[in-house]
Amino acid sequence: MKTISIVTLILAIALCCNCTFSATQGISGTGTVPDTLDRILVNQVGYLPNSVKIALLRVKTLTFNVVDINSGKVVFTGNPGPFKYWDQSGDSVCTADFSSVTTPGKYSICIDDKSVCSYSFEIGEGVYSDIAKASLKAFYLNRSGMEITKEFGGKWARPAGHPDTLVFVHSSAASANRPEGFKIFSPGGWYDAGDYNKYIVNSGISTYTLLLFCQVYPEYCKNFKVNIPERSNSTPDVMDELLYNLRWMLTMQDPDDGGVYHKLTNKKFSDFSMPDKANDARYVVSKSTAASLDFAATMAMASRVFAKSETPELKELGKTCLGAAKKAYTWAKANPAIYFKNPPDISTGAYDDTDVQDEFLWAATELGLAENNLALIPEKGLAKQETRVPSWGNSGMTGILSLSLSIDPKVSEYKAEAQKRVLAFADKLVDKSENSPYKVSLDFFNWGSNSDVANQAIIKLLAYKISKDKKYLASIQGDVDYLLGRNATGYCFVTGFGGKQVMNIHHRPSGADGVTEPCPGFLAGGPNTVVLSDCPEITRSKFPAKSYADALCSYSTNEVAINWNAPLFFLLGAMDSFKK
């Protein structure tokens, strides 16, 4: 009763005094009752001035108002569209289009004479700058083997953990020159997700995505500054961050035969303790065809990007990467069906894949582009490749993306076909978003569904780069809006941002550091119904778009992962690059 009376008193004071509360306090608008029932769904971060701006309403109303937070004035009144039912969420919503509001400022969407208002949002040119920086800096906060100091980590500072200067070769990875128990040096890299292990398969697609961003937005990268230890050197900060992981990846290749270890891991997942307290022995486990091909593709891509660098060190590193890529590809060709399976004494993430034709396509394409060797590019493989969102388990589409952006005249025919595939896929995604009640292309909910939204946006961003057709921009904006609050759960899925914030991510440092707020800039995995039993005391919705729990135990919906943050940064960085 005491808590209820205090809340009631606060609301009464707010209504009487017409006070303004920040969205992070859970109350938005001017002197209004907070929309705790998510009746108004809106991008809780904001919009560029000239972008499409659409909120979603779950209540019937003849009009909606856009209210200036500071003045309390109504700056726009509109009429919502018709209600539409979404079978993925089990509810109906209608659109509230306020695209004509372009004046920079902080606003809320209100209904019923301001009795209910959305969380606040901003309109302005730099609206995505901070969140783009946070989404990249999340990788820094997940660095293995490095102390996160207060200068760069603030309240999330922590001692270094897992130096990985003494890593044992597991029996599954043993070879003549590196027998079981052999000690290797494999420092650096990012913790993969909510755990403290490092996996080549997932590192490959994550590092590739950041390399692709550097290729597509080189001028933006030159001017993009993040508060990380390397900020003062001459290398762009995006490149500095991916290099921390790429250099670790190079240590995972057996120098004798070129094969690549699948993962570096403890034998089992550690408990929720800080990295420096999780001191179990570390192992490299099993070489695999998938890991070797993902490694080869990533290193070949890196060699192309580094070749354009103005830094001699990176140019030289590019040569090293290409040599490593060729050795890994040769090993994979000689060992085309070594599929990873956890040994009996290892129980950490498997990233197992028994169909590696897409990995062969990706690696061959990247090597063909890196070496200007058309003979390596498998024409039949390209024709057979399914057009789909790239992921760690389905990576063939990444080769098509790389081909679509090639500037090598020798591959003009391949490029034309790749661009045709990308544009057709993007058009299909746009059609889906235009017909979706929630104005989003996503119509399936896998584990990590939020990353699928971000990766779909990347397809559209590349289609926009290829065609310069502005028809893609509204759909891209819809993907941003979904991730930042205009979704069936009402959460802004990026930690540290929005009015309805994700607070309890499945992430060991965030769960063990004693800081109330989670490490910022991470993308929560998102709703799905793949696993409904990870939090036995929480009953989740059977509708996949609503089946989400902001709880540490919900590894299936609330974990974080590098392959989810990489496309998030790509999307947010691209949006930030559109500012004038």
Domain ranges of the chain: 2-123, 129-435
Active-site residue 550, yes or no?
yes
What's the CA gap between 386 and 398, in Å, rounded?
A: 11
Q: Which CATH number does 129-435 carry?
A: 1.50.10.10
CA–CA separation, 234 and 240 (whole Å): 10
DSSP letter assigned to residue 542? S
In the chain the first and final C-alpha atoms are separated, in Å, by 52
| Number of other residues whose CB lies within 10 A of the CB of residue 339 | 13
Check 366, 534, 559, 576 and give the catalytic one. Answer: 559
**pTM of the entire structure?**
0.94
Instruction: Tell me which of 192, 241, 550, 576 is the catalytic residue.
Output: 550
pLDDT tens across the length of the chain (580 residues):
333 333 333 333 333 333 232 333 333 444 556 687 899 999 999 999 999 999 999 999 999 999 999 999 999 999 999 999 999 999 999 999 999 999 999 999 999 888 999 999 999 999 999 999 999 999 999 999 999 999 999 999 999 999 999 999 999 999 999 999 999 999 999 999 999 999 999 999 999 999 999 999 999 999 999 999 999 999 999 999 999 999 999 999 999 999 999 999 999 999 999 999 999 999 999 999 999 999 999 999 999 999 999 899 999 999 999 999 999 999 999 999 999 999 999 999 999 999 999 999 999 999 999 999 999 999 888 999 999 999 999 999 999 999 999 999 999 999 999 999 999 999 999 999 999 999 999 999 999 999 999 999 999 999 999 999 999 999 999 999 999 999 999 999 999 999 999 999 999 999 999 999 999 999 999 999 999 999 999 999 999 999 999 999 999 999 999 999 999 999 999 999 999 8
Q: How far apart are CA 77 and CA 510, in angstroms?
A: 42
Phi/psi of residue 559, nearest 5 degrees: -80, 165
Beta bridge partners of 95: 56
Active-site residue identified among 257, 506, 534, 576? 506
User: Which residues are paired to 92 by β-bridges?
Assistant: 85
Q: How far is CA 492 from CA 137, 243, 510, 559, 568, in A?
A: 18, 29, 18, 15, 13
For Cα atoms 377, 382, 386, give the angle at the middle one, nearest 5 degrees.
150
Bridge partners of residue 107, in order along the sequence: 68, 121
440: Cβ–Cβ under 8 A, 6 or more apart, which residues? 432, 433, 453, 478, 479, 481, 482, 487
What are the helix (H) ranges across 468-538?
471-483, 508-512
Q: What is the CA radius of gyration of the chain?
A: 24
Confirm whether 506 is a catalytic residue. Answer: yes
Q: Where are the alpha helices (DSSP H) in 142-199?
A: 150-153
Q: List alpha helices for 142-176, DSSP H.
A: 150-153
Count CB atoms within 10 A of the CB of residue 205.
Answer: 24
Angstrom distance (rounded) from CA 156 to CA 150:
7
Catalytic residue, from 195, 254, 358, 452: name it: 195
**Cβ count within 10 A of residue 22:** 13
CA 111/CA 386 separation, integer angstroms: 45
- Paired residues of 96 in beta bridges: 55
- Please choose, from the candidates 370, 477, 469, the residue with its C-alpha nearest in 3D space to the C-alpha of residue 121: 477
Half-sphere exposure of 187 (CA within 13 A, CB side): 8
Helix residue ranges per DSSP H, 218-283: 218-223, 237-251
Q: Which residues contact 351 (CB under 8 A, 6 or more apart)?
A: 199, 201, 202, 262, 263, 290, 340, 392, 393
Annotation marks residue 195 as catalytic: yes
**How confident is the model at residue 475, as a pLDDT?**
98
- Residue among 375, 337, 243 nearest 299 (CA): 243
Domain 2-123 has CATH 2.60.40.10: yes
